[in-house]
Amino acid sequence: MIVVVMGVTGAGKTTVGRLLARELGGDFLDADDYHPAANVAKMRAGHPLTDDDRRPWLARLNEVLRERAARSAGVVLACSALKASYRDQLLADLPDARLVYLRGTKALIAGRLEARRAHFMNPTLLDSQFTALEEPVDAIVADIGPAPEAIAATVLAELA
């Protein structure tokens, strides 16, 4: 099974994604680990990525997911995937992939970002993330208010 956990920065994609991967018996991948150095530097400096910045990154992620699908290897990928066009590229040729959208308010997420220290994403980019966000219509939607374990349990019930 291929599951993509999406949402804005600070929504809990990595935390919930790791829990899902453990429960599903698959690997966890963080899309941030696949960004080229130039993208990371740009985000660290507080500059949002452009579609051109994202295109090769999304193509690489799609390649990784297709490789996993060809081997029938389960994987949970945490990826912002904010726009429908990004999700289309990310999930191309992966008809059985499932999308999980972690939805939360800007105020809740801003509070989380203020407390986060070990991440390259500049918290000033939260506004641009919400501006770019196109909520998916074909996803499991999970509210990020509850504890991560409760969110994962809700998602697992939906995936079953």
Q: Please give the Cα distance from 160 to 82 (Å, whole number).
A: 25
The closest alpha carbon to 31, from 55, 61, 56, belongs to: 61
For the chain, give every domain's residue range: 2-159
The domain 2-159 is placed in CATH, from the list 3.90.1580.10, 3.40.50.300, 3.90.480.20, 3.30.499.10, at 3.40.50.300
DSSP 58-79: HHHHHHHHHHHHHTT--EEEE-
State pLDDT tens for residues 40-88: 888 888 788 899 999 999 999 999 999 999 999 999 999 999 999 999 9
pLDDT of residue 117: 56
Q: How confident is the model at residue 120 (pLDDT cuts 50, 70, 90)?
A: very low
Tokens at residue 149, please? 């374990």
Which pTM does this prediction carry?
0.89
pLDDT of residue 110: 82
